[in-house]
Structure 1
């Protein structure tokens, strides 16, 4: 630990000198650390799409400063790579703000650098509850696992499910999802028959699906990272006949994201999930957002990841307007806390106490709408805070 602390001290000194020399620099440099290659590259690409869309709509200048994006690929769940990228961005590129972070290990690895250099750090996806506690300069515009897991458990209990097995990927967000579902479901009178964890990298779902089928619970609660794993699980769930055995599949919306739902096909119809954004969300802001998105990306569909990146840039731009272009950590954070706006997902705000996002969480069902599979919202828990930070 001593060499690492010494390195942080040296980095803080270097960044302090950089900040003093660049107080009136024109360009605002944002270091964007995302998984842009490897098995989770679609996550980074969708966040980047949201960032670029915001800048395309609102311009590349804010509060008199030209915004410059500096991209770094951390390849996925590779915290050492994320940390090296952040060090290089801070020392060599002299970035003013760090942003992105597709996964929790990346955010955890970079948080000490954010704190030691007093650099604002905007998390656009990573969902472990404790991330914002790792540095006082972290803000989040995505969500926490607890935010969309607790409503799922509440809905399950309310709709007569008594006996549930949890099945989650074995890493931070999966642990958070498991913990929150178990807590909320049992508090509402439910029973957890088993808690099962699966490898996060390239899992074989067959033995886990068979174990659930043999146990015959009322439902299985699933969390896997957004991406192709959800497609594989849903198809396996149908092929092994768990639905025909009366075993309901409950999940966060990671498994029915708009970019992959077509690959799942009609096997997704009827699945109920809890999440924060749906392309089908009924609001003028979302309709305008989709129109601009389609103009820029005509062959794609917007997802929660796109919105996380889009809202992250909104937070940065609007905060800089409030600070008159000042981007030092203390000024930036003081102005960002409590900020509220209408997002494509609905009303959101930054909790001034936790620096985490407050937002609506929707219960949705996959339906075919005008020939297109959509997550149709039918219930909402408004202005829901991260339950992991509540007493």
Structure 2
């Protein structure tokens, strides 16, 4: 991911960075350094710093400088401000970041107006890359996991019925659509679709999971943002005895984030 960011920085040089900036490539990084996504920002930051440390010789004679702005939350409003400041105040050559899809969606008009390459490092809503000709995504689309898990649920887990629970924002809706299309194309049936709050704060999942349990599906497919949302999902699944009721829990890797496994209990 970071390797591609550096490569894109080099491309930006070739495409017309002025001689005044020829020895320095300024990468504007828009990440949630505070708030619910701070852990992910720290992980991305460490990856960038480590790569630059280990590969400084590969970008000579250029110096890569990271200029950071805190987008704080998934609302989109702070991301727009951060990206605008990176472009107009810091005069960056390349943009990078975007953990949350709403932030990438909100930033798109500003990215287009700024005419700078912008590297999406995480945000997975499928249509984001259509919103600006300057966007390039090095991560994934929610359809990758959702569609594959729909097929696996039917063919490998032999599930005939499923309930889908999802965080009610663009990546969650993509996950629902992808899983449902694949699962039903392979003979399954989604018998309920449950929006489970937003990405900005962890909700009480109990009523949503109880509703799913009452439907008695073979399988419960869940998409929530990684982090505290994921830990709460697994705890609620266990607390309501859904495994004992014969309901399998499945979802993308967000619900098994390694740094949260201990918080999920047994």
- TM-score, normalised relative to structure 1: 0.61
Partner Cα separation in structure 2 for residue 233 and residue 202 of structure 1? 10
Structure 2 residue aligned with 1:376? none
Distance 1:60 1:94 in 2: 25
Q: Which deviations, in whole Å up to 9, do the C-alpha atoms of 1:252-272 show, x marking residues without a partner? A: 11011111112223x3xxxxx
Q: Residue in 2 aligned with 1:263?
A: 263
- Larger mean Cα displacement after TM superposition, 210-219 or 111-120: 111-120
Q: Which residue of 2 aligns with 1:152?
A: 149
CA distance in 1, matches of 2:23, 2:58: 10
Query: 2:196 is matched with which residue?
Result: 198
| Cα RMSD (Å) | 1.5
Cα separation, partners in 2 of 1:225 and 1:20, compared to 1, 3 Å: closer
Note the C-alpha offset of 1:43.
Answer: 1.7
| Structure 1 equivalent of residue 167 of structure 2 | 169
Q: Contact conserved, 1:60 with 1:66, CA < 8 A, in 2?
A: no
Partner SS for 1:260: helix
Normalising to structure 2: TM-score of the pair?
0.89
Shift of 1:23: 5.7
Tell me, in whole angstroms, the C-alpha distance in 1 between the residues paired with 2:19 and 2:32.
Answer: 29
Which residue in 2 is equivalent to 1:209?
Answer: 209
Q: How many Å separate the matches in 1 of 2:54 and 2:260?
A: 26
Alignment of 1:171-186 (within 5 A): 171-186=169-184
Distance in 1 (alpha carbons) for counterparts of 2:260 and 2:167: 19
Q: Secondary structure at the match of 1:71?
A: strand
Q: Which position in structure 1 is the counterpart of 2:73?
A: 76
Q: Is the 8 A contact 2:192 2:212 kept in 1?
A: no
For the residues of structure 2 that align with 1:219 and 1:23, how far apart are their CA atoms?
59
Richer in strand (by share): 1
2:240 is matched with: 240
CA distance in 2, matches of 1:84, 1:236: 36
CA contact (8 A) 1:36 1:45 kept: yes
Look up the SS of the partner of 2:140 in the other structure: coil
Q: Which residue of structure 1 lines up, in the alignment, with residue 115 of structure 2? A: 118
Aligned mates of 1:61, 1:79 — CA distance in 2: 35
Query: Offset of 1:184 from its aligned partner?
Result: 0.7
Q: Is the 8 A contact 1:76 1:102 kept in 2?
A: no
Query: Residue 254 of structure 2 corresponds to which residue in structure 1?
Result: 254
Contact 1:61/1:67 (CA < 8 Å) preserved in 2?
no
Distance in structure 2 (CA, Å) of the matches to 1:68 and 1:20 = 15
| Superposed displacement of residue 198, structure 1 | 1.0
> Which of 138, 141, 144 is residue 135 of structure 2 equivalent to?
138
The 8 Å contact of residues 104 and 123 in structure 2, kept in 1 or not, is answered as: yes
Distance 1:141 1:257 in 2: 20
1:25, CA displacement in angstroms?
2.9
Q: Deviations over 1:114-160 (max 9, x none)?
A: 22232100000111001110111111111111011111111001031
1:20–1:238 distance in 2 versus 1, CA, 3 Å: closer
Q: 1:118 to 1:41 in 2, by over 3 A?
A: same
Distance 1:195 1:158 in 2: 21
Give 1:52-67 correspondences, 5 Å limit.
Answer: 52-59=49-56, 62-67=59-64
Which runs of 5 or more residues in structure 1 are unaligned?
Answer: 1-18, 268-391
Higher relative contact order (CA 8 A, sep 6+): 1
- Secondary structure, aligned partner of 1:175: helix
User: CA 1:60/1:129 → structure 2, altered by over 3 Å: closer, same or farther?
Assistant: farther
Q: How many Å separate the matches in 2 of 1:22 and 1:112?
A: 28
